C-alpha cells in the first residue's frame, strides 16, 4: 500500500494515477476540507481529465484521510516555497511531513520525496530527522527522491508520457520505486543518486526561466527603440539553431518562478546569470504597468478605474494562481498606493482579489481598457466582445482585434 502525502496539484493526480493502475493507495492531507471534498466525490481543482481519472481510481482502491498511515511506501508531495529574504528553500512542509511519517512507519519502509527541493536539502534536513528517530538509513528506511515533472493543464498526459528521475542511495531501492512508477509511466525512468536528482530538477526549471528572461529582455530593448519584437523573433527563429520564446507579462507557477531561487540562495556567488534572469522576469509585471500608463497617455485616458485585467491564473486554461504575474502586478500597484484594477478570470470561481468580477459581460461593461494577461481559450471564443476597447495583449493571443503589445 502507498501513502501519498499532500493532495495538491501534484499529489492528487499522482495518487489517482497510481490507484487507477492497480496500486492500493491512501491519500493524506492535513487540510480536512480537501479530504472531505475528495471523500464526497469532488476534486478540489480543475484539470483536464482529472475527474475521469478520479472515477477510475475510486472504482479500484483509493481512500482519503487527514491521518498518516502505517505502510511500507510513502510518496511526499508537499509544497517547497523559498524564503523571501535569503532565497533559500523553506523546508518547513518537508520536515513536518517526514516527521509525521517517521511517527507511524515501520522498518523497511520506502520514503520517496517528490517535492522539488534545492540540492542538498535531503542531506541537510531529511536524513537527520530519520536518524534521530533511531532508524538506520539503507536498512530500516530507504530514502528516495523522485521529483515530479508535470505541467498544470496537461498533468494526466504528462504523468504517463514524461520521463522520470529517481534518486536513491542504492540501486535496489531505486529499482523498487521504479517498479511502482512503471505501473503508469510509459516513458524512460532514470535511476541516479539523490543529490543528482535534486540538482537535475532545479536545473530544468532554471533553464526555462533563463530562456524566458531573454525573450522578455529583448522585448524591453525593442520597445525602447520602437522595433517589433515579434517580427524580430519570427525572423531570428528561421535560423536552424535559434528558438527564441515569445515574451510575456511575467513568470508564475510553483516551478519556474521558484526553483531558480534555490540555486541563487545556495550559490550566491556563482549564479549571476540565474539571478539576472530572475530579476528580469520578476520585473515584467511592472513593465506591463509602464506600458499601460504609456498607452493611456497616448489615448488621452486618465481613469484607472476603467482599466481591467483579464486573467488571474499563472497560465492558460488552469485555475492555478500561484505566483501569477497578475497577482504580482496588483501587488506592485499596492506598493505605489495606486488603486487596484478590475479583474476577471473565467477559471477562478472564488474571490481572490478586490474588484474581481464573476461575469465577463459585467466586467467589460465597467472597463474601457483591457489588459490580456492570460491566454485562456475563453478569450478567443469571446474576442468579438472586445470591440471598441483599448487592448494591451501581453500574450499575443488575439487574432481579429486591433491591439497594443508589450
Check: CB of residue 17 under 8 Å from CB of residue 53. yes
* Cell digits of residue 205: 526549471
Angle between helix 272-282 and 194-224 (nearest 10)? 50
Q: Quick one: three-class SS letters along 260-327?
A: HHHHHHHCCCCCHHHHHHHHHHHCHHHHHHHHHHHHHHHHCCCCHHHEEEECCCCCCCCCCCCCCHHH
Q: Under DSSP, is residue 73 helix (H, G, I), strand (E, B) or coil?
A: strand
d(CA 367, CA 359): 13
**DSSP H/E element including 54:** helix 50-58
133 counts as catalytic? no
DSSP state string for 323-354: T-HHHHHHHHHHHTTPPPPEEE-TT--S--ST
Burial class (CB within 10 angstroms; exposed 0-12, middle 13-18, buried 19+) of 160: middle
Determine which one of 176, 255, 315, 342 is catalytic: 255
How is residue 190 written as a grid cell?
532514470
CB 52 within 8 A of CB 31: no
Eight-class DSSP state of 82: B
C-alpha distances (whole Å) from 16 to each of 81, 159, 253, 405 are 24, 11, 22, 41
The catalytic position among 201, 222, 315, 342 is: 201
| Cell numbers linked to 316 | 492558460
Strands 25-28 and 2-5: parallel
201 is catalytic: yes
Name the phi and psi angles at 377, rounded to 5. -55, -30
Q: Is the dihedral of CA 321, 162, 148, 200 positive or negative?
A: negative
Three-state DSSP class for 58? helix
Residue 239 CB: number of other CB atoms within 10 A? Answer: 9
Residue 4 backbone phi and psi in degrees, to 5: -90, 120
Active site residues: 201, 255
Amino acid at each position: 500500500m502507498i501513502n501519498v502525502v499532500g493532495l495538491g496539484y501534484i499529489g492528487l493526480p499522482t495518487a489517482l494515477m497510481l490507484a487507477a493502475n492497480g496500486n492500493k493507495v491512501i491519500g493524506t492531507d492535513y487540510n480536512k476540507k480537501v479530504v472531505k471534498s475528495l471523500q464526497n466525490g469532488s476534486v478540489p481543482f480543475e484539470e483536464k481529465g482529472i475527474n475521469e481519472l478520479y472515477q477510475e481510481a475510486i472504482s479500484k482502491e483509493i481512500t482519503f484521510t487527514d491521518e498518516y498511515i502505517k505502510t511500507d511506501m510513502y510518496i511526499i508531495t508537499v509544497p517547497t516555497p523559498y524564503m523571501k529574504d535569503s532565497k533559500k528553500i523553506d523546508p518547513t512542509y518537508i520536515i513536518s511531513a517526514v516527521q509525521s511519517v517517521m511517527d507511524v512507519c515501520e522498518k523497511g519502509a520506502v520514503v520517496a520525496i517528490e517535492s522539488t527541493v534545492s540540492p542538498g536539502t535531503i542531506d541537510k534536513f531529511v536524513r537527520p530527522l530519520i536518524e534521530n528517530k533511531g532508524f538506520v538509513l539503507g536498512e530500516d528506511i530507504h530514502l528516495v527522491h523522485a521529483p515530479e515533472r508535470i505541467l498544470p493543464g496537461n498533468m494526466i498526459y504528462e504523468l504517463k508520457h514524461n520521463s522520470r528521475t529517481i534518486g536513491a542511495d542504492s540501486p535496489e531501492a531505486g529499482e523498487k520505486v521504479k517498479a511502482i512508477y512503471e505501473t503508469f509511466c510509459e516513458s524512460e525512468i532514470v535511476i541516479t543518486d539523490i543529490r543528482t536528482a535534486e540538482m537535475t530538477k532545479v536545473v530544468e526549471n532554471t533553464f526555462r526561466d533563463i530562456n524566458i528572461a531573454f525573450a522578455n529582455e529583448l522585448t524591453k530593448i525593442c520597445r525602447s527603440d520602437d522595433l517589433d519584437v515579434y517580427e524580430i523573433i519570427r525572423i531570428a527563429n528561421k535560423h536552424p539553431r535559434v528558438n527564441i520564446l515569445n515574451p510575456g507579462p511575467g513568470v508564475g507557477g510553483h516551478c519556474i518562478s521558484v526553483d531558480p531561487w534555490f540555486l541563487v540562495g545556495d550559490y550566491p556567488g556563482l549564479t549571476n546569470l540565474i539571478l539576472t534572469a530572475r530579476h528580469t522576469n520578476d520585473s515584467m509585471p511592472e513593465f506591463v504597468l509602464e506600458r499601460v500608463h504609456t498607452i493611456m497617455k497616448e489615448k488621452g485616458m486618465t481613469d484607472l478605474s476603467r482599466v481591467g485585467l483579464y486573467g488571474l491564473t499563472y497560465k492558460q486554461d488552469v485555475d492555478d494562481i500561484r505566483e501569477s504575474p497578475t497577482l504580482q502586478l496588483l501587488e506592485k500597484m499596492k506598493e505605489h498606493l495606486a488603486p487596484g484594477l478590475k479583474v476577471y478570470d473565467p477559471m477562478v470561481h472564488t474571490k481572490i482579489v478586490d474588484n474581481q468580477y464573476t461575469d465577463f459581460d459585467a466586467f467589460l461593461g465597467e472597463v474601457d481598457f483591457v489588459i490580456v494577461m492570460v491566454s485562456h481559450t475563453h478569450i478567443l471564443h469571446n474576442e468579438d466582445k472586445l470591440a471598441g476597447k483599448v487592448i494591451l495583449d501581453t500574450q499575443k493571443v488575439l487574432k481579429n482585434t486591433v491591439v497594443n503589445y508589450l
